[in-house]
Amino acid sequence: MLSKTIHNAMNEQIKNELYSAYQYLSMSAYCESVNLPGLAHWMRVQFREETEHALKFYDFIQDRGGRVVLEAINQPLNEFGSPLEVFEQALKQEQGVTVQINDLYGLAVREDDYASQAFLQWFVTEQVEEEKNVGDVVETLKMVGNKSEALFLLDRELGGRENEE
């Protein structure tokens, strides 16, 4: 059984994960609007991943005898100045999620909730991968700059991303 504190925090994390998904979908729409279908595809894959993360929390709460309570999700950003700005925002978002997961893990430690710690360890590891993947694209976009040929090739490369979960 989940403590009230962890139960509430995990319900909050469902909202956070769904907001991340919503933000990635908005980023995908932006990329489509500037004719970068590969970047848009990459963001849609990320959208699906974040939705799966929310469902992992949903199932864990249910498995531990808790009740999922869904909260309102804020409107995502819709306007971006460039593909680099999109991915810089995505990196900032992932860094924020890392803080949220680390805080949740710390709470589980303080509450001596070993099942939640084991569950959250997957997310701790996942966030390292998430930040690296987005950070790599940010660095590539910085190298590409305004070179349309290089952006075209990067767009094609990112369009080949497979669904990972």
**86-117: pLDDT as tens digits:** 999 999 999 999 999 999 999 999 999 999 99
Q: What confidence tens digit (pLDDT) does each residue in 57-71 have?
A: 999 999 999 999 999
Contacts of 140 (CB under 8 A, 6+ apart): 154
Higher confidence at residue 150 or residue 40? 40
Count of alpha carbons within 13 angstroms of residue 62, beta-carbon side = 8
What is the band of 4 on the pLDDT scale with cuts at 50, 70, 90? very high
Buried b / exposed e along 27-42 (16+ C-beta atoms within 10 A): bbebbeeeebebbbbb
C-alpha to C-alpha distance for 144 and 150, rounded to whole angstroms: 6
Instruction: Specify the pLDDT at position 146.
Output: 74
Contacts of 116 (CB under 8 A, 6+ apart): 2, 6, 10, 60, 64, 104, 108
Query: Which domains can be identified in the chain, with CATH numbers?
Result: 4-158 (1.20.1260.10)
Q: Which of 151, 8, 9 is nearest to 84 (CA)?
A: 151
Instruction: Specify the pLDDT at position 31.
Output: 96
The arithmetic mean of pLDDT across residues 154-158, rounded, is 89
Rounded percentage of the chain residues whose pLDDT exceeds 90: 87
What is the band of 149 on the pLDDT scale with cuts at 50, 70, 90? confident
Q: By three-state DSSP, how is residue 127 classified?
A: helix
C-alpha to C-alpha distance for 160 and 103, rounded to whole angstroms: 34
Instruction: Specify the pLDDT at position 101.
Output: 98
Instruction: Specify the pLDDT at position 163.
Output: 67
C-alpha to C-alpha distance for 91 and 47, rounded to whole angstroms: 14
Secondary structure of 32-92 in the HEC alphabet? HHCCCHHHHHHHHHHHHHHHHHHHHHHHHHHHCCCCCCCCCCCCCCCCCCCHHHHHHHHHH
